[in-house]
Amino acid sequence: MSCLFCKIVERSIPADIVYENDHALAFRDIRPVAPTHALVIPKVHLACIHDATPEQTPLLGELFAAARAVAEKLGLGEKGYRLVVNNGDDGGQTVHHLHVHVLGGRGLSWPPG
């Protein structure tokens, strides 16, 4: 059985898709924590950044390039934005398909909680 985000890739559950290329898909987060909040995922299932193999390093590059493209498309390029990857329980990861949060549209505080 495929995971939640694999189902979004397969279009078996709906999402507000904002960007797609051969490697990555991006859609708006269902519970946004900033005025603009999108998730960028690899189209292939990879549970988390810590599970990435050396062979998947090019895919990780594709994911960050896609996150940059999403930020540009959503109008965040000029004022700035934040990319976040949560990993594992202490990292706050709740969906176990690697995703990059693209957050922007307001000033973001540091450090995170």
Interface contacts to ligand 5GP, rule CB under 6 A:
4, 15, 27, 29-31, 39, 86, 92-95
Torsion angles phi and psi, residue 27, rounded to 5:
-150, 160
**Nearest distance, CB of residue 42 and ligand 5GP, angstroms:** 14
**Minimum gap (Å) between residue 37 Cβ and ligand 5GP:** 7
23 binds, among ligand 5GP, Zn ion, none (CB under 5 to 8 A by kind): none
The residue (of 75 and 92) whose beta carbon lies closer to ligand 5GP is 92
Q: Is the peptide bond before 58 cis (omega within 30 degrees of 0)?
A: no
Q: Which is nearer to Zn ion, 3 or 33 (CB)?
A: 3
Residue 34 phi/psi, 5-degree rounding, is -150, 160
Q: Which residues bind Zn ion (CB under 5 A)?
A: 3, 5-6, 45, 97
The answer to whether the CB of 100 falls within 8 A of the CB of 84 is yes
Taking a C-beta distance cutoff of 8 angstroms, is the pair 8, 25 a contact? yes
* Annotation marks residue 50 as catalytic: no
**What is the gyration radius of the CA atoms in the chain, in angstroms?**
13
Instruction: Name the minimum Å distance from CB 4 to ligand 5GP.
Output: 6
Instruction: Return the residue matching tokens 């109008």.
Output: 75
Catalytic member of 37, 97, 99, 101: 99
- The catalytic site residues sit at 99
